[in-house]
Amino acid sequence: MTRAFEDIAFTNSVRAAQHRYGSRYSGLGGGGARQDILTRYEIDFLAERDSFYMGSVSESGWPYFQYRGGPKGFLKVLDDTHIGFADFKGNRQYISVGNLNSDDRVSLFLMDYPNRQRLKIWARARIVDMDNEADLVARLAVPGYRARVERGVILTLEALDWNCPQHITPRFSDEEVRRIIFPLLEENRELKEKLAQVAAHID
């Protein structure tokens, strides 16, 4: 747990709840490194993600969580305090975009289901439009990915925290399943060939 995370997440109301329910975090504060920059570990983790969840807050105070997906590495690390992504054309409701126009605070959940890891990021978001920062939007685009880029989003890191894996159920993508079963399929193919050779020799 980091101080930057505590400063944002552990409000007075949260502290009261921790005290009431006997949380192990009750009474803690100010300890640990601040960790409001990305280390090599987080950078490598982000490079392997093909999706994340982003929370924003509406003008009326309602939270909104949106799924964002793309090829691995579509969430790009620009430096140790900035990440960004191309905003691909979707259902055109623009709820997250509208929310960011009134409140730039966001929270990201990044999941690694097979390895039961999750990274939480708090950041300030800035929308980057094609008509005035085309070069930056182009930098966020994913070459070869067939999706229309409408704008870019730049996130300035405020805090991050790694969560415990206790209740994360392992799940696997098609690519991950294929990678796991490919050696088994190859072994099965080789055994079939050997059996066919033995059968031919017996005949």
Q: How confident is the model at residue 174 (pLDDT cuts 50, 70, 90)?
A: confident
Q: Which of 173, 53, 48 lies closest to 110, judged by CA?
A: 53
CATH code of the domain covering residue 114 = 2.30.110.10
**Considering its fold, how many domains does the chain have in total?**
3
More confident residue, 181 or 78: 78
Q: Is the pLDDT of residue 31 over 70?
A: no
Cα–Cα distances (Å) from 34 to 22, 24, 181, in that order, read 25, 19, 42
For all residues of the chain together, what is the average pLDDT? Answer: 89
pLDDT at 70: 92
Asked if residue 16 and residue 83 are part of one domain, the reply reads no
Asked if residue 203 and residue 165 are part of one domain, the reply reads no
| 85 strand-pairing partners | 153
Distance CA 50, CA 64 (A): 20
Average pLDDT on 16-28 reads 84
More confident residue, 82 or 31: 82
pLDDT at 96: 95
Distance CA 8, CA 108 (A): 14
Asked if residue 145 and residue 81 are part of one domain, the reply reads yes
Average pLDDT on 92-115 reads 94
- Residue 3 sits in which domain range? 1-33
Asked if residue 112 and residue 125 are part of one domain, the reply reads yes
Asked if residue 50 and residue 128 are part of one domain, the reply reads yes
Distance CA 136, CA 130 (A): 8
Q: Is the pLDDT of residue 35 over 70?
A: no
Asked if residue 120 and residue 186 are part of one domain, the reply reads no
Measured between its terminal Cα atoms, the distance across the chain in Å is 68
Q: Is the pLDDT of residue 59 over 90?
A: yes
Q: Which of 31-40, 100-109, 165-174 has the lowest mean pLDDT?
A: 31-40
Q: How confident is the model at residue 203 (pLDDT cuts 50, 70, 90)?
A: low
Q: List the beta strands (DSSP E) in 58-163.
A: 63-69, 76-79, 82-88, 105-112, 117-129, 149-162
pLDDT at 28: 67
Asked if residue 118 and residue 19 are part of one domain, the reply reads no
Asked if residue 48 and residue 66 are part of one domain, the reply reads yes
pLDDT at 30: 57
Asked if residue 67 and residue 29 are part of one domain, the reply reads no
Q: Strand, coil or helix: what is 19?
A: helix
Asked if residue 40 and residue 28 are part of one domain, the reply reads no
| 54 strand-pairing partners | 66, 108
Cα–Cα distances (Å) from 78 to 87, 173, 180, in that order, read 16, 27, 32
- Identify the DSSP state of 169: P
Neighbours of 39 (CB within 10 A): 11
Provide the whole-model pTM: 0.81
pLDDT at 151: 92
Asked if residue 114 and residue 95 are part of one domain, the reply reads yes
